[in-house]
Amino acid sequence: MRVAMTRRPALLFGVGAMLVGSLLAGCGSSSDGPAGDNGPVTLTVNLFGDFGYQDLYARYKESHPNITVKQNVTDYGAHHKNLQAHLLSGAGTADIEAIEIGQIAGFRPQAAKFVDFLGQGVRKDQWVDSKWQPATSQDGKALFGLGTDVGGLALCYRSDLLKAAGLPSDRDAVSALFTDWNSYVEVGKQFQAKSPDKNVKWFDAGSNLYNAIIGQSTRNAYDASGKVIVETNPAVKQAWDTTVAAIQAGESAGLAAFSPQWNTGFAKGQFATVTCPSWMMAYIKDNAPDTAGKWDIARIPGTGGGNWGGSYLTVPRASRHQKEAIELAKWLTAPEQEKWLFTNKGNFPSDQALWSQPEVAGYDNPFFNNAPAGKIFSESVKSLKPQILGPHQGDIGNAIGNALTTVEQGTATPDAAWKKAVADVRNIVS
């Protein structure tokens, strides 16, 4: 799914997704209307971005005419803070609440306040371990979240801009250019030197590059004991150093993810490559419809895996219509709906059985020069390594992303920015 926000939490890899959709209802409280199997029921669904569900709600109503769905969409940060506050107070939750993968660990201590789907006919082997495990209770006995999409990474690129700089533009040849992230940075230097338009940069933002690099490590901000290891994890510093090297080489357009400037950057061709989860396909198409056929998709540098985004649907026990909410949540995350969401909205299914089905694995995206999107993203998610997540994952990511922005803007040296990031992380977890 796609998330609308000023900056995507930098260490998530494990959201979103990502434009705010239409706000259909102003409040986030649980459903109005009488309960009952046959009487009218209004279900509220609280989201933090465009999950692509509008058409599915209409389809669901065809077979459930007594169900009306009211969808509330709020800012990513506000959504999760509100949910925490409502859970603590015991009131104010919707019938279905979405939680992003970078936030899910913070809700595990309150797993008992959500419905356990294992008691509702759900099998956790519908998903790979890296998807279902974060949404289990701390004792591992309850599953409180149903996986929606997974944001396995690829590299989206402007083939015309690469060709203009004398670089290969065929997707297989482009993939072959990058044996690792260092080679990606080196090719970026070639692009900057040879591009006829010096205003076009190699990539969009340092924070997004950092996200992709650290997303390929099994250890990020936390270790298995729950200790924050930003200062001692060599993978974090390596991802930082590689990103800083690319910024200092003049390769970053310095456009904050999901900002209006970033959106304009897609339309005007202000950068040649972007780390690209599956949902990004729809995001690019929506923001740059006139660039059809100019974009293509290559393998992500590094290990070939990595993740950006992906969420869960939960049903708080405070829901006034638990039965109906459970049925809707299960239906929205069922194989048929996840398959439809991928081919129509770009959200890659978290249901692992779909990854080898022809409708998914064989899907070619016409906007991206008929790139074999299904094959590329299927291979990417199969390469995903489960990453340890912690309760402050998103906040820590923001701290590092903000520090990288100061390097891009020239307001701080890399050393000073790193020290500021570390200090901010300490404050977050203290």
387-399 pLDDT, tens digit each? 888 888 888 998 9
For residue 170, the one-letter residue type is D
Q: What is the pLDDT at residue 232?
A: 96
The span from the CA of 39 to the CA of 196, in Å, is 65
Q: Which of these ranges, 59-73, 89-103, 299-313, has the smallest mean pLDDT?
A: 299-313
Residue 17 has pLDDT above 80, yes or no: no
Mean pLDDT of the 316-338 span: 97
Q: What is the pLDDT at residue 98?
A: 98
CATH topology match: 2-150+308-367 vs 152-307+386-429: yes
The tally of CA atoms less than 13 A away on the side-chain side of residue 65 is: 0
Nearest alpha-carbon partner for 418 in 219, 243, 273: 243
366-391 pLDDT, tens digit each? 999 999 999 999 999 887 777 888 88
Q: What is the pLDDT at residue 15?
A: 35
The span from the CA of 35 to the CA of 405, in Å, is 50
Alpha helices by DSSP H, 72-121: 76-89
Mean pLDDT of the 298-320 span: 91
Q: What is the pLDDT at residue 1?
A: 53
Query: Both tokens of residue 51?
Result: 């999950």
Tokens 């169900």: give the residue.
67
249-279 pLDDT, tens digit each? 999 999 988 899 999 999 999 999 999 999 9
Q: What is the torsional sign of CA 201, 205, 210, 211?
A: negative
Residue 171 has pLDDT above 60, yes or no: yes
The span from the CA of 216 to the CA of 300, in Å, is 10
Q: What is the pLDDT at residue 10?
A: 34
Within a 10 A sphere around the Cβ of 400, how many other Cβ atoms? Answer: 30
Residue 193 DSSP symbol: H
Q: How confident is the model at residue 37 (pLDDT cuts 50, 70, 90)?
A: low
The span from the CA of 233 to the CA of 328, in Å, is 41
Give the N- to C-terminal CA distance of the chain in Å, as an integer: 31
For residue 372, the one-letter residue type is P
Mean pLDDT of the 139-156 span: 94
Q: How confident is the model at residue 36 (pLDDT cuts 50, 70, 90)?
A: low
Mean pLDDT of the 192-198 span: 96
Query: Do residues 153 and 308 lie in contact, with contact meaning Cβ atoms separated by under 8 Å?
Result: yes
Which uninterrupted H or E stretch holds 73?
strand 67-73
Mean pLDDT of the 82-108 span: 95
Name which residue leads in pLDDT, 71 or 4: 71
Mean pLDDT of the 44-59 span: 95
Q: With the CA atoms of 34, 40, 43 and 44 taken in that order, what torsion angle do they form, in degrees rounded to the nearest 10?
A: -80
Residue 34 has pLDDT above 60, yes or no: no
Q: Which of these ranges, 16-25, 73-82, 159-168, 231-240, has the smallest mean pLDDT?
A: 16-25
Q: What is the pLDDT at residue 5?
A: 36
The span from the CA of 251 to the CA of 65, in Å, is 54
285-295 pLDDT, tens digit each? 999 999 999 99
Nearest alpha-carbon partner for 14 in 207, 215, 205, 213: 215
Fold of the domain built from segment(s) 152-307+386-429: D-Maltodextrin-Binding Protein; domain 2 (3.40.190)
1-14 pLDDT, tens digit each? 544 433 333 333 33
Tokens 């939680």: give the residue.
99
Residue 67 has pLDDT above 70, yes or no: yes
pTM for the whole thing?
Answer: 0.87
Label the pairing between strands 271-277 and 146-158: antiparallel
Fold of the domain built from segment(s) 2-150+308-367: D-Maltodextrin-Binding Protein; domain 2 (3.40.190)
Mean pLDDT of the 226-250 span: 97
Tell me the average pLDDT of the chain. 90
- Domain-by-domain residue ranges, the chain? 2-150+308-367, 152-307+386-429
Mean pLDDT of the 21-27 span: 35
Coil, helix or strand for 203?
strand
Mean pLDDT of the 195-220 span: 94
